[in-house]
Chain A
Amino acid sequence: EVQLLESGGGLEQPGGSLRLSCAASGFTFSHYAMSWVRQAPGKGLEWVSGISGSGGTTYYADSVKGRFTISRDNSKNTLYLQMISLRAEDSALYYCAKDPIAEGAVGYFDPWGQGTLVTVSS
């Protein structure tokens, strides 16, 4: 069974930094692109960042470009999101999500983890 378990969220001040992690199991992690998708409280879904299976290619939404860095450690089956210069509008539940197609990237997501909550406030 595929499992995705996010961690690393918490309360951070504006301008601060956090690193989120997503531990994956139940599949050959290095064969699949992965993404981060966030959801502000009571709001809709926003794709944040994606990374190829090898880690060699990364993608970002304009809203986080230059502030967030996605990476992965395929030896540890773990996905990361390093977030710096945090803003109040970055407050959200952050989900990691798996691309369902091996050795490719189709851009829809299945499954999703349960999320880790990031709150940016002074």
Chain B
Amino acid sequence: EIVLTQSPATLSLSPGERATLSCRASQSVSTYLAWYQQKPGQAPRLLIYDASNRATGIPARFSGSGSGTDFTLTISSLEPGDFAIYYCQQHTTWPPGATFGQGTKVEIK
């Protein structure tokens, strides 16, 4: 099973700052990696797919990069609504399965 490790667990930043979130896979997933945002009490929302493609309606301040085992989600300038938990997910083993990282919480400093 491919394990995804996200770091840091918590990122404390102020609005306007740049956020850099990391996701490392235990083996190569090529570019079959997605990122989701989850706010309290809400379902996850797809942000990025195939490592670097923004989903429909996602603002340009969100960008994804990486391939193989190391991936990054960057939020160029944090807005108040961006404080949330972010999950990465690999789908290189799909079908049959998909696995998620444990999440990174971006909180207001």
**A47 touching B98 by the CB < 8 A rule?**
yes
Q: How far is the CA of A107 from the CA of B45 in the complex (A)?
A: 15
Provide the B13-43 mask, 1 if CB < 8 A to any CB of A, else 0: 0000000000000000000101010000011
Chain A, residue nearest B1 (CB): A62
Provide the A86-101 mask, 1 if CB < 8 A to any CB of B, else 0: 0000000001000010
A111 within 8 A of B: yes
29 A–B contact pairs at CB < 8 A? A44-B102, A45-B44, A45-B100, A45-B103, A46-B100, A47-B97, A47-B100, A50-B94, A57-B95, A59-B95, A59-B96, A95-B43, A100-B49, A100-B55, A107-B91, A107-B93, A108-B46, A108-B49, A108-B89, A108-B98, A109-B34, A109-B46, A110-B45, A110-B46, A111-B46, A112-B44, A112-B45, A114-B42, A114-B43
**B43 touching A106 by the CB < 8 A rule?**
no
Chain B 32-70 interface residues, beta-carbon cutoff 8 Å to A: 32, 34, 36, 42-46, 49, 55
List the 9 closest A-B pairs by CB distance, nearest first: A107-B94, A107-B91, A59-B96, A110-B46, A112-B43, A108-B34, A45-B100, A47-B98, A44-B102
Q: How far is the CA of A35 from the CA of B55 in the complex (A)?
A: 19
A105: chain B residues at CB < 8 Å are 94-95
Q: How far is the CA of A35 from the CA of B45 in the complex (A)?
A: 15
Counting chain B CB atoms within 10 Å of each CB, the highest count among A110, A113, A114 belongs to A110
Q: How far is the CA of A106 from the CA of B44 in the complex (A)?
A: 17
B87 within 8 A of A: yes
Q: How far is the CA of A59 from the CA of B98 in the complex (A)?
A: 10
Chain B, residue nearest A48 (CB): B97
**A44 touching B103 by the CB < 8 A rule?**
yes
Counting chain A CB atoms within 10 Å of each CB, the highest count among B43, B89, B93, B95 belongs to B43
B99 within 8 A of A: yes
CB distance from A75 to the nearest CB of B (A): 24
CB distance from A11 to the nearest CB of B (A): 20
